[in-house]
Structure 1
Amino acid sequence: MSLNVPKGESRLAETGSIVSALKRALKSHGLTYRDVGEALGIAESSVKRLFADKDFSLKRLDQICQLMHMEISELLQKMDQEKRLISQLTLEQEAWLVSDHKTLLVAICVANRWTFEDILNAYKLTEHELIKMLAALDKLKLIELQPNNRVKLLMSTDFSWIPNGPISRFFDEEVQSNFFKSRFNGPGEARIFASGMLSRASNEILIRKMERLAQEFRQFNEEDQELPLTERFGSSIMIAMRPWELAAFEAFRKDDNKRF
C-alpha cells in the first residue's frame, strides 16, 4: 500500500492534513495517545513525538487505523471531505457579518459548538430571531441548518478571519478598548509584562515560542469542544512582542527614526 503524495511543500502540507485527520478520528473514537501507545507497544511519549514530528510510516498509520477499525482509505476520504469545508469568508461577507453584531455573536457561538438551546438560554434572542440568523449563516456556507434547529458546522478546523479584514479589525478595536480594562488578578486571569533588550536571534526564538503557545491554545479549544457548555468558559489570550519604547521617552530621542 502506498500514498500518492506530492513532493516538497505540498507533500508537507498533505502530511500535516493526514495527521490532523488522524487526530480528529482518534478523538471521535474516544481514543487517547496512551491507547495508541498500548496498541503499538510504545511509550505514550513516543506517540506524542510521532504526532509532533508528523513522522508516520505506512505500517504505523495502518496500525492506528486498525485500532479504530477503519482503513487508511477511509481516513483519506474523511480528509478529502474536510478539505471541502470553508476556511475563510470573502471581504464582502465579513463586512456584512460585522455590520450585524447579533449575527456575528451567533456565528461565534455555533463555531464553539453551542446548541440552539444554549444560545437562547444565554442571550436575549427570540426563537424567530435566532432561526433567521442561523439561516443567514447557512447562506454564507458557515453552517448547515438542519431539522429541529440543529447545526452542522461547515467551517474547517483551520478556519480564520481575513488578516486585517473587517472582523479582525473589529476584534482589534474591542481588544484595545475593552480587553485590557482589567487588573488581571481574578480567577483564571494573568498578565505578564517583561521588557529588556534582545538580539534579533533571541527575538525570533521567542516569537516561535509564542506561535507554539497560540497553537496549543487552539488545540485545547478544539479538544474541549466535546465537553458540556457548563464545563467551558470563554477565554482569550493575548500574546504580543514588538520593538517598543515608552511614549514618554520618545520625545528625548535625537533621531526620531532610531529606537532603543
Structure 2
Amino acid sequence: MSQTQAIVDSLKRELKAQGKTYAHVAKALELSEASVKRLFSSANLSLHRLDSLCELLGMTVAELTNKAQGQQAISQLSQEQEQELVDQPKLLLVAVCALNRWQFHEIVGTYQLSGAECVQLLAKLDRLRLIELLPNNRIKLLVDRGFRWLPNGPIQQYFRQQIQSDYFAADFDGPGELMLFQNAMLSPSANAIMQRKIESLAREFNQLAEEDKNLPLDERFGSSLMLAIRPWEVQSFQRLRRPGTGKQFPTA
C-alpha cells in the first residue's frame, strides 16, 4: 500500500470515528459529495485539502500521518476505562495532571500523594494506555491532540455534577473569569453556524494549551471553558404556553 493511500485510509477511519460524513467533507472543501467520493477513491488529495480536512477533525496533518504509519495515539477511552477513573478520585486527579503535561515531581509536590503512591497511579494509567511511564518516572502522553472524553460518558457526567455544584458557584467577576449568557431567536441555519463557531473556538482553546505546554507550571493555570447552545425555553415560560403552540427543532 502506498503512503498516500495509507493516509487516505487513516483519514476515512478518523472521519467515521468522529461521525463525519461525506456531506461534512463536501462542505469543508466546498465540493459536491460526488467530487469528494472521487477524491477518496483516487487517493488524490492536495496538501491544502488535506489540511482543511484535518482542521475539520481537530487534528494536525502530522497526527494523521502518525496514525497512518501505525503510531496511533488514542482519541478516546472506553466506557469501562472512564468508569475506572471516576471510581478512583486520585487516579482521575493524576490522569488530568498528566493530560495537562504535569511532571512527576510537580504532582507529588502539589498534592497529598507519596512518591510510591503516585508511581502506582501512573502505572495504572500506563495500563490504560493513556500514558507510557518511562524511566525516572517521566510521563509520555499516548493521546492525540483531539483526545476527548466520551459524550455523556462517566467523565462528562462526573464533571457535569461538579459544574452544577461548584463551577457556577461564582460571580465570574474575578481575574481570569468571564461568563456571558445570550438569548435570542435563531433559525436552524443560524444555529448550525454558531455550532461551527463553537467547535472552532474549542479547537483554538486546545491549540493555545498545546502552545503553552512547555511553560513552567507556575505560569499555567487550570482553565475550564464551557460552550453550549441549544433550543431552550425556561420551564416557567413553557408552562404559560397555549396548547398547541410548542415548536420542535428540525432534525438533520
TM-score, normalized by length of structure 2? 0.72
Instruction: Find the aligned partners of 1:51 and 1:209 in 2 and give their Cα distance.
Output: 21
Is 1:116 matched with 2:104?
Answer: yes
Residue in 2 that maps onto 1:219: 207
Q: 1:125 aligns with which of 113, 138, 142?
A: 113
Residue in 1 that maps onto 2:229: 241
Residue in 1 that maps onto 2:5: 5
Q: Could you list the per-position Cα deviations for residues 198-224 of structure 1 after superposition, in whole angstroms to 9, with x for gaps in the alignment?
A: 122212111111111111111111121
Greater mean deviation of Cα atoms: 149-158 or 234-243: 149-158
Contact residue 10 and residue 64 of structure 2 kept, 8 A:
no
Contact residue 143 and residue 154 of structure 1 kept, 8 A:
yes
Q: Aligned partner of 1:187: which letter? A: P
Contact residue 245 and residue 259 of structure 1 kept, 8 A:
no
Q: Aligned partner of 2:167: which letter? A: F
Instruction: Find the aligned partners of 1:228 and 1:218 in 2 and give their Cα distance.
Output: 18
Q: 1:258 aligns with which of 231, 237, 246?
A: 246
Q: Give secondary structure in 1 for the equivalent of 2:91.
A: helix
Instruction: State the 1:88 CA deviation.
Output: 1.8
Contact residue 74 and residue 147 of structure 2 kept, 8 A:
yes
Is 1:54 matched with 2:51?
Answer: yes
Contact residue 67 and residue 73 of structure 2 kept, 8 A:
no
Structure with more relative contact order (C-alpha pairs < 8 Å, separation 6 or more)? 2
Report the aligned-residue RMSD.
Answer: 3.1
Instruction: State the 1:4 CA deviation.
Output: 2.2
Poorly superposed stretches of 4+, deviation over 3 Å: 9-16, 50-53, 74-83
CA, structure 1 residues 76+100, in 2 after alignment: closer, same or farther (shift >3 Å)?
Answer: closer
TM-score, normalized by length of structure 1? 0.70
CA, structure 1 residues 118+82, in 2 after alignment: closer, same or farther (shift >3 Å)?
Answer: farther
Give ranges in structure 1 of 5+ residues lacking alignment.
17-49, 56-73
Instruction: Find the aligned partners of 1:81 and 1:146 in 2 and give their Cα distance.
Output: 23
Instruction: Find the aligned partners of 2:91 and 2:14 in 1 and give their Cα distance.
Output: 36
Residue in 1 that maps onto 2:217: 229
Q: Could you list the per-position Cα deviations for residues 109-151 of structure 1 after superposition, in whole angstroms to 9, with x for gaps in the alignment?
A: 0111100111011111111111110111111111111221111
CA, structure 1 residues 14+163, in 2 after alignment: closer, same or farther (shift >3 Å)?
Answer: closer
Instruction: State the 1:87 CA deviation.
Output: 2.0
Q: Give secondary structure in 1 for the equivalent of 2:85.
A: helix
Q: Aligned partner of 2:92: which letter? A: L
Contact residue 88 and residue 159 of structure 1 kept, 8 A:
yes
Q: Give secondary structure in 2 for the equivalent of 1:4.
A: helix
Alignment of 1:170-249 (within 5 A): 170-249=158-237
Give ranges in structure 2 of 5+ residues lacking alignment.
16-46, 53-61
CA, structure 1 residues 136+15, in 2 after alignment: closer, same or farther (shift >3 Å)?
Answer: closer
Q: Aligned partner of 2:4: which letter? A: N
Contact residue 129 and residue 142 of structure 2 kept, 8 A:
yes
Residue in 1 that maps onto 2:78: 90
Q: Could you list the per-position Cα deviations for residues 48-85 of structure 1 after superposition, in whole angstroms to 9, with x for gaps in the alignment?
A: xx879827xxxxxxxxxxxxxxxxxx999755457422
Q: Could you list the per-position Cα deviations for residues 135-174 of structure 1 after superposition, in whole angstroms to 9, with x for gaps in the alignment?
A: 1111111111122111111122222221111111111111
Residue in 2 that maps onto 1:64: none
Q: Give secondary structure in 2 for the equivalent of 1:145.
A: strand
Q: Could you list the per-position Cα deviations for residues 226-250 of structure 1 after superposition, in whole angstroms to 9, with x for gaps in the alignment?
A: 2111211111111111111122212
